[in-house]
C-alpha cells in the first residue's frame, strides 16, 4: 500500500513525505492507525506506571500520624508530675506519718540552641500542690502561730500541711530526639522559683478541729533545684527545696521549725 499525498497531506510536497516516511515504518492509512492505537496507548500507560513507581520509591514514608518532617520541632512543652513528699531537716520529735503526696503541672516554652535541637533551654509557669501528714500541730493564740507536737499515744484523725505554689521553672535540657520520633532519652535539670499562694494546716481529733490558713511564718517565696530523666513516657523526677518552708520566727521548743521539702516521683511530658 503506497502513500496518498492528495488524501492525507494535500499541502506537503513529495520530498517532505519521503523524509517523514522512515519515521513510521508503517503506512499511515486510517485502518493502520486504528489498529496500532491500542498498542501505542498501552506503551504510554506503561511509561506512566513506571514513572509513578519510581516516584513512590523516592517518597519517604513516615510513621502515622506524621505526614511530613518538621525540622523546627519543639519538644515537651506540657508537663504533669506526681510525687511522694518528704520533710527534711526537721527538729527533734517531728516525724511524718501516712503517705504524703503531691501534684505538679504546667507549660514550658522549649527553645533549642543547636541545629539538631537536642539541647535546649526552657521556661514557663506551673502550679504545685503538696501535702504533708506529720505530728506538728499549728494553732493560733491571739493571732500568733503556735507550734507543738502531738503527745505520744494521743489518737487523732488528721494532722497535715497543705501548700499550693505558683512556679516559674528555668530549665536546661538534653535529649536524643529526632523529627521522626517522639521516643527518646531525656535529662532535664534546673531551678524552680515558687510563690506560696495558699498554706493551710489542719488538726482534727475527737475534741478539736483546728485550721490555720493565714500563717505569717511561712516563707512564701521558695527556690529549689530539680532533675527529671528517663525514656519516652516514664521519667524519674526529684525536687529539693533549698528555702526553708518556715521563717526563723516559727519556733518549736525555742528551736526554728525550718524544714525543707524533698519530692520524688514521676514526670510525664506532652507535645
Pairing mode, if any, of strands 251-252 and 136-141?
unpaired
Q: How many residues in total does the chain contain?
A: 271
Task: Verify that 45 and 84 share a domain, yes or no.
Answer: no
Beta bridge partners of 59: none
pLDDT of residue 194: 98
Task: Verify that 44 and 108 share a domain, yes or no.
Answer: no
> Total domain count for the chain?
2
Reading the block at residue 85, the C-alpha cell is: 513528699
Q: Is residue 69 part of a domain?
A: no
pLDDT of residue 1: 45
Half-sphere exposure of 167 (CA within 13 A, CB side): 29
3-state secondary structure of 30: helix
Instruction: Report d(CA 253, CA 255) in Å as an integer.
Output: 5
CATH code at position 189 = 2.40.160
Cis upstream peptide for 78 (omega within 30°): no
- Whether the CA torsion 193, 96, 135, 131 is positive or negative: it is positive
Task: Verify that 196 and 116 share a domain, yes or no.
Answer: yes
Reading the block at residue 170, the C-alpha cell is: 528555668
DSSP string, 126-163: EEEEEEEEBSEEEEEETTEEEEEEPPTT---SEEEEEE
Task: Verify that 262 and 172 share a domain, yes or no.
Answer: yes
Reading the block at residue 15, the C-alpha cell is: 520530498
- Whether the CA torsion 12, 13, 19, 25 is positive or negative: it is positive
pLDDT of residue 98: 87
Instruction: Report d(CA 218, CA 245) in Å as an integer.
Output: 6
Q: Is residue 71 part of a domain?
A: no
Instruction: Report d(CA 9, CA 40) in Å as an integer.
Output: 22
Task: Verify that 82 and 54 share a domain, yes or no.
Answer: no
Q: Is residue 65 part of a domain?
A: no
List the domain range (segments joined by +) for residue 23.
Answer: 5-58
pLDDT of residue 34: 55
Task: Verify that 251 and 210 share a domain, yes or no.
Answer: yes
pLDDT tens sequence for the chain (271 residues):
444 444 444 444 455 545 545 544 444 455 555 565 565 556 655 555 555 555 455 555 555 554 455 577 888 899 999 999 999 999 889 999 889 999 999 999 999 999 999 999 999 999 999 999 999 999 999 889 999 999 888 899 999 999 999 999 999 999 999 888 879 999 999 999 999 999 999 999 988 899 999 899 999 999 999 999 999 999 999 999 999 999 999 999 999 998 999 999 999 998 8
Instruction: Report d(CA 109, CA 249) in Å as an integer.
Output: 38
Q: Is residue 70 part of a domain?
A: no
Q: Is residue 261 part of a domain?
A: yes
Question: Which is nearest to 90 in space by CA: 262, 222, 264, 257?
Answer: 257
Half-sphere exposure of 111 (CA within 13 A, CB side): 9
Task: Verify that 90 and 179 share a domain, yes or no.
Answer: yes
Question: Which is nearest to 200 in space by CA: 224, 248, 147, 164?
Answer: 164
Task: Verify that 18 and 149 share a domain, yes or no.
Answer: no
Residue environment code for 213-247, b if the CB has 16+ CB neighbours within 10 A, otherwise e: eebebbbeebebebbbbbeeeebebbbebeebbbe
Amino acid at each position: 500500500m503506497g502513500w496518498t499525498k492528495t488524501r492525507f497531506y494535500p499541502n506537503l510536497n513529495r520530498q517532505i513525505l519521503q523524509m517523514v516516511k522512515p519515521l513510521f515504518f508503517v503506512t499511515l492509512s486510517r485502518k493502520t492507525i486504528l489498529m496500532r492505537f491500542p498498542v501505542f496507548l498501552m506503551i504510554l500507560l506503561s511509561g506512566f506506571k513506571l514513572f509513578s513507581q519510581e516516584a513512590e520509591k523516592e517518597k519517604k514514608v513516615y510513621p502515622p500520624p506524621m505526614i511530613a518532617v518538621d525540622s523546627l520541632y519543639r519538644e515537651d512543652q506540657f508537663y504533669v508530675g506526681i510525687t511522694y513528699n518528704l520533710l527534711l531537716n526537721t527538729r527533734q520529735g517531728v516525724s511524718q506519718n501516712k503517705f504524703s503526696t503531691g501534684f505538679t503541672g504546667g507549660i514550658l516554652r522549649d527553645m533549642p540552641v543547636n541545629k539538631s535541637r537536642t539541647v535546649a533551654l526552657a521556661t514557663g509557669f506551673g502550679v504545685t500542690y503538696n501535702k504533708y501528714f506529720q505530728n506538728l500541730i499549728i494553732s493560733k493564740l491571739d493571732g500568733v502561730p503556735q507550734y507543738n507536737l502531738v503527745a505520744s499515744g494521743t489518737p487523732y484523725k488528721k494532722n497535715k500541711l497543705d501548700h499550693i505554689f505558683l512556679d516559674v521553672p528555668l530549665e536546661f535540657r538534653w535529649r536524643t530526639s529526632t523529627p521522626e520520633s517522639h521516643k527518646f532519652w531525656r535529662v532535664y535539670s534546673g531551678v524552680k522559683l515558687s510563690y506560696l499562694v495558699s498554706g493551710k494546716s489542719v488538726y482534727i481529733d475527737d475534741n478539736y478541729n483546728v485550721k490555720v490558713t493565714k500563717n505569717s511564718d511561712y516563707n512564701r517565696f521558695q527556690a529549689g533545684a530539680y532533675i527529671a530523666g528517663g525514656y519516652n513516657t516514664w521519667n524519674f523526677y526529684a525536687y529539693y527545696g533549698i528555702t526553708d518552708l518556715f521563717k526563723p520566727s516559727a519556733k518549736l521548743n525555742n528551736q526554728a521549725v525550718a524544714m525543707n521539702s524533698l519530692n520524688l516521683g514521676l514526670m510525664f511530658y506532652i507535645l
